[in-house]
């Protein structure tokens, strides 16, 4: 059995709904779709977004209205769903859904952005460490882990168009990139780089200056798995031609 999982920061679920989101979902037909930056509580969404035929739906929203939020549409009913890491200051922002599918545990995460202030950068790095602890605990229990979402950091120079110009900007700071190195050293794999080591592979483009048209972008969206699970990954790709957000979707196929 092959499971197709797609992850997409939609930059507002209600906004992208007006741009043909559901038509795209039905055409792409993923087994599991992880959405980030929904910017809505479940009760703010139209019924057509809350109940998509053939899918179980799970929403995790921020306490602050119109902010953050993640959701998952899945044809496979999970054995268990957790909303967050169990740490209030992170869970209040509605950034994490954890779904246990038996063969693997899926974490759909909208990671914090550190550009607003020094305090938000610290919050971002603390969130990263909380994820590492959470994932390691699962791994130590013998679980396989699939982590996806908008990481809000480009890992290496190959992962953004203008590395030199951005090395003092949150999203490409040395301490953010060093955390990804640390994370990978704990036995996690960046699935995209298992299959593609080419430059100019981006998932986010600023709305300003026609950046997407010129492919001046950043690779901010990732699928990670634990090393023990990597042989189950058949493909990992960027769906760069899918529009509607400042991010494009990414996907993996898992062979079970």
Per DSSP bridges, beta strands 32-36 and 2-9 are parallel
Structure tokens at 76: 């496979």
Nearest to 224 by CA among 162, 160, 134, 164: 134
CA separation, residue 205 to residues 27, 211, 218, 222, 240 (Å): 24, 6, 7, 15, 11
Helix/strand/coil for 70:
strand
Structure tokens at 188: 């996690």
- Told to judge if 150 belongs to the known catalytic residues of this protein, a careful annotator would answer yes
Give, for 231, the enclosing helix (H) or strand (E): none
Residue among 150, 159, 221, 246 flagged as catalytic: 150
In whole angstroms, what is the distance from residue 194 CA to residue 141 CA? 25
Q: Which residues contact 249 (CB under 8 A, 6 or more apart)?
A: 6, 7, 8, 238, 239, 242
Give the phi and the psi of residue 227 in degrees, each rounded to 5. -55, -35
Structure tokens at 200: 């100019």
Could you tell me how far CA 34 lies from the centroid of its own chain?
7
CA separation, residue 204 to residues 129, 153, 201 (Å): 24, 11, 10
Catalytic residue positions, numbered: 150
């Amino acid at each position: 059995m092959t499971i197709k999982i797609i992850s997409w920061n939609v930059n507002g679920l209600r906004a992208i709904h007006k741009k043909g989101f559901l038509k795209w979902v039905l055409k792409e037909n993923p087994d599991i779709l992880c959405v980030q930056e929904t910017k809505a509580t479940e009760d703010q969404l139209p019924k057509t977004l809350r109940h998509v035929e053939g899918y179980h739906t799970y929403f995790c929203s921020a306490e602050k209205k119109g902010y953050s939020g993640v959701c998952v549409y899945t044809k496979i009913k999970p054995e268990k769903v957790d909303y967050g890491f169990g740490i209030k200051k992170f869970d209040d922002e509605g950034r994490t859904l954890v779904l246990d599918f038996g063969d693997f545990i899926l974490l759909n995460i909208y990671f914090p952005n550190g550009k607003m202030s020094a305090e938000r950068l610290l919050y971002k790095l603390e969130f990263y460490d909380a994820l590492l602890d959470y994932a390691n605990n699962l791994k130590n229990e013998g679980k396989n882990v699939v982590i996806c979402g908008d990481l809000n950091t480009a890992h290496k120079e190959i992962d953004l168009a203008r590395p030199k110009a951005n090395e003092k900007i949150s999203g490409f700071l040395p301490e953010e990139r060093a955390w990804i190195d640390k994370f990978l050293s704990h036995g996690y794999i960046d699935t995209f780089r298992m299959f593609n080591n080419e430059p100019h592979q981006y998932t986010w483009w600023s709305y300003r200056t026609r950046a997407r048209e010129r492919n001046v972008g950043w690779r901010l969206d990732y699928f990670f798995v634990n090393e023990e699970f990597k042989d189950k990954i058949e493909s990992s790709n960027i769906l760069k031609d899918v529009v509607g957000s400042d991010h494009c979707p990414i996907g993996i196929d898992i062979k079970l």
